[in-house]
Chains A and B, each alone.
Chain A
Amino acid sequence: MAPRWPALYDRHGLALFGYLLRLAGDRGIAEEILQDSLLAAWRSAAGFEGRSSVRTWLFGVDRRQAHNRLRGKRLVWVELAEAGEVVSVEPGPEAVALAHAEQVEIAAAVARLRPLHAEVLGLAFVDGLSYAEIAAVLGVPVGTVKSRASHAKAALAAVLNEMSEGRR
């Protein structure tokens, strides 16, 4: 039976477009990548084996198309050694830094996150994807997603600490 693509788009279009907008940072480019993604999804639909949800699969197609389009431009796609991403902030001070920061400062810190970290936080908190789903979209093990989320949090705290030291 033919899948109802307009219905799929009704259900997932907004989230897929939002994800692309976060990756591309430009509405026009995001629209173009969305078109390419839907076309790629259409062409590869026969190969969809149902190992992930349709939503996760569509996010994965989105990401690959964005990768092709934005490679070498805006995003740092190179999967840097995960160990190199560790920011040495212990959980305690992180919570303190985040609890005492102003909303404006946190927003500024979020804007300074590395794309790999921002992407995981966006997929988790904006799109509501589980770690397992995010892992499927990114094509990495679940453990990598967990460590990226944790590094993202540490990085935010580090930026906030930097900001508060700068004020002193």
Chain B
Amino acid sequence: MTMHDQMRDLLAAYTAGSATRAERQLVGAHLAACATCREELASWQVIRAAVRAASPRVAAPGPQLVAAVLARAGVSAVRGPTGAELTLATSPGHRLRHAAAVLSGSCRWSAVGCGWLRLWSWRWVRRFGPQGGW
């Protein structure tokens, strides 16, 4: 990989501000000596500005959205002392295990229900079904 290839990979991250310190130093040192990469950087900066300008800047829904989600999850939540934060009554791990237990329980029950239904249908067929078998 040539230095330019390496730079091409790094310049977008450098422009975005997500490059590591070592990468920033590498890019900085290279840019001082390379007009092509300075042009490349300038074009990424133009793109960054355009992408940021094009992305909608709107406020996110308020904290009531979290309360609505917790309500959907069936989690009891109470207001914290400051009123700014909700304190969760149970941990997600606990909720997950609980949900899994409920789910497996209901599967067991539906298996029992299906078995019973099959037995009941069979009896019904024996009683009212066609004579001489199927």
Contacts of A102-130 to chain B: CB distance below 8 A: 103, 106-107, 109-111, 118, 121-122, 124-126, 128-130
Number of interface residues of A (CB under 8 A): 59
B42 at the A interface (CB under 8 A): yes
B110 at the A interface (CB under 8 A): no
In the assembled complex, how far is the CB of residue A41 from the closest CB belonging to chain B, in whole angstroms? 9
- Check B8 against A13 for contact (C-beta < 8 Å): no
- Check A2 against B8 for contact (C-beta < 8 Å): no
In the assembled complex, how far is the CB of residue A75 from the closest CB belonging to chain B, in whole angstroms? 16
A46 surroundings in chain B (CB, below 8 A): 92-93, 96-97
- Check B58 against A124 for contact (C-beta < 8 Å): no
- Smallest Cβ-Cβ distance to B59: which chain A residue: A14
- Check A43 against B99 for contact (C-beta < 8 Å): yes
A81 at the B interface (CB under 8 A): no
- Which A residues form the contact surface with B (CB < 8 A)? 1-7, 9-10, 13-14, 16-18, 21-22, 27, 31, 34-35, 38-39, 42-47, 91-92, 94-95, 98-99, 101, 103, 106-107, 109-111, 118, 121-122, 124-126, 128-131, 133, 146, 149-150, 152-153, 156-157
Q: How far is the CA of A37 from the CA of B126 in the complex (A)?
A: 51
21 contacts between A and B (CB under 8 A): A2-B87, A5-B66, A13-B60, A17-B58, A34-B60, A35-B72, A38-B66, A42-B69, A42-B92, A42-B95, A43-B73, A45-B96, A98-B42, A98-B47, A103-B49, A106-B50, A124-B12, A125-B48, A126-B52, A130-B18, A157-B43
B19 surroundings in chain A (CB, below 8 A): 130
Query: Among A6, A34, A95, A128, which residue has its beta carbon within 8 angstroms of that of B43?
Result: A95
Given contacts A46-B92, A129-B18, contact A17 B61 (CB under 8 A): yes
- Check B66 against A6 for contact (C-beta < 8 Å): yes
Number of interface residues of B (CB under 8 A): 53
In the assembled complex, how far is the CB of residue B49 from the closest CB belonging to chain A, in whole angstroms? 8
A94 surroundings in chain B (CB, below 8 A): 43
Summarize A's interface: helix, strand, loop or mixed: helix
In the assembled complex, how far is the CB of residue A125 from the closest CB belonging to chain B, in whole angstroms? 4
- Smallest Cβ-Cβ distance to A48: which chain B residue: B92
Given contacts A107-B50, A121-B47, contact A38 B56 (CB under 8 A): no
- Which 10 A-B residue pairs are closest in the complex by CB-CB distance? A45-B92, A98-B43, A17-B60, A46-B93, A130-B18, A46-B96, A106-B50, A95-B39, A2-B88, A13-B60
